[in-house]
Chain A
Amino acid sequence: MKDKKKILAGLAVFIAAITFPFWYNMGKAAPAPEVELTAKAKAAKVCVMPTAYMKANHMQLLDVWRHNVVRNGERAFVNAEGQLFNMSLSNTCLDCHSNKAQFCDRCHNYASVRPYCWDCHIDNPKGE
């Protein structure tokens, strides 16, 4: 093919550039963050749903909550253990996890997740 040298050179540059994040950060992975529980959260032992589920699916649960509260007017959440909660991000979740900066933000910042929930929902209902 014509320009074989230019093509191969360009291809090499492209591959190097596109894989840059991988080889540049090799061996330098930042450790997963530690999150802190408040005293209230520790005392409760488990969240509204089992911990493993919450770790993986809290956003899906929040989607279920917001759909049911806003669109169906249903505010009561009863989990498999029969415990009753009010479906509210600021008034239930942040009631126990009032230390957003040491709890929610730790993992979110690490994973570069920027939920826009806090544009509207109060993130310090206890004034912390």
Chain B
Amino acid sequence: MNNSRRRFLQIAGVSALGLGAKPVLDAFAAGEDEGLGFHVARGEDALDAKQWAMVIDTRKLLTTEDLEPIIEACNKIHNIPTAIENKNHEIKWIWETHYHNAFTDKTNNFLNEEVEAQPFLLLCNHCENPPCVRACPTQATFKNDNGIVMMDFHRCIGCRFCMAACPFGARSFNFRDPRPFIRETNKEFPTRSKGVVEKCNFCAERLAVGQMPACVEASNGALAFGDLYDEHSEVRELLKENYTIRRKQTLGTEPSVYYIV
């Protein structure tokens, strides 16, 4: 009796595996979308670069009032939940801070008064060697062909390893549903949901249709944007002519955001 029951179970198990094989194989075989006659492509107006970079001329941004339109432009078009009061849960893609918080490795005890008082813009540096991309276990954060460190909100599992990895504190996590805290929804851009990490995306959606990032447009010339590896781009011209610094460059992440001081 025992032996044949064991035998029965063995046969049942193998049969289940066999019967289950077909649907599994079918699921994997269904990759023939291209046979439906469509194709996808980049838009004609899309702007391309080897590595998008930004040069911030801090000499043109001396007060908080100078920075306000820049920060607000980003917040508005990306549905940033600015009404969150709990500082622990704040979402910031681009924000301002003091010199010794922005450049922690370049502080002096006796800083010139102007720089001491001046606010500085902080945002994701879209590093060329990003530790956050190295850390992400699902490639939800990845570096695209144009050098932008992107977020795929569909894939993010909210583990926040990228937040631990970022040396610049550039990333924010949605600790709760952001929608009630969005002051004015931009209907052309999605919001995010709770449980995913987000940060500046160098306005990839605007570059795709031939527009400059919103912060650059709102900056009245203080922010320059271009291809770091195009010798004739505006950013390279500025880098040739001006002394610039970057945040924590000794860490080797190669940030793409430069500051003219």
Contacts and interface: CB of A to CB of B under 8 A. Distances in A.
A and B touch in the complex (CB under 8 A): yes
A120 B42 contact: no
B191 A78 contact: no
B40 A74 contact: yes
A21 interface: no
Chain B interface main SS type? loop
B116 interface: no
B193 A119 contact: yes
Nearest to B191: A120
A122 B190 contact: yes
A53 to B, nearest CB: 7
Contacts of A121: 190
Interface stretch (A8-16, A25-33, A60-68, A104-112): A60-68
B193 A116 contact: yes
Interface stretch (B122-130, B143-151, B242-250): B143-151
B188 A125 contact: yes
A112 B110 CA distance: 66
Contact of A76 (B42, B145, B191, B192): B42
A86 B187 CA distance: 15
Given A78-B38, A78-B41, A73 B145 contact: yes
A80 B187 contact: no
B204 A73 contact: yes
A68 B190 contact: no
A75 B44 CA distance: 10
A103 interface: no
Contacts of B191: 120, 122
A76 B40 contact: yes
Contacts of B44: 76
A71 B33 CA distance: 18
A93 B153 CA distance: 20
A79 interface: yes
Most A C-beta atoms less than 10 A away, residue of B40, B144, B188:
B40
A49 to B, nearest CB: 7
B152 interface: yes
B37 interface: yes
Interface in B183-213: 185, 187-188, 190-193, 204, 208-209
B103 interface: no
A120 B190 contact: yes
Nearest to B44: A76
B33 A122 contact: no
Nearest to B41: A76
Contacts of B18: none
B150 A70 contact: yes
B208 A79 contact: no
Contacts of A91: 188
Contacts of A49: 36, 38
Interface in A88-128: 90-91, 116, 119-122, 124-127
Interface of B: 33, 36-44, 46, 142, 144-146, 150, 152-154, 177, 185, 187-188, 190-193, 204, 208-209
Going nearest first, the 8 A-B pairs with the smallest beta carbon separation are: A80-B37, A119-B193, A120-B190, A125-B187, A76-B41, A74-B40, A68-B40, A79-B38
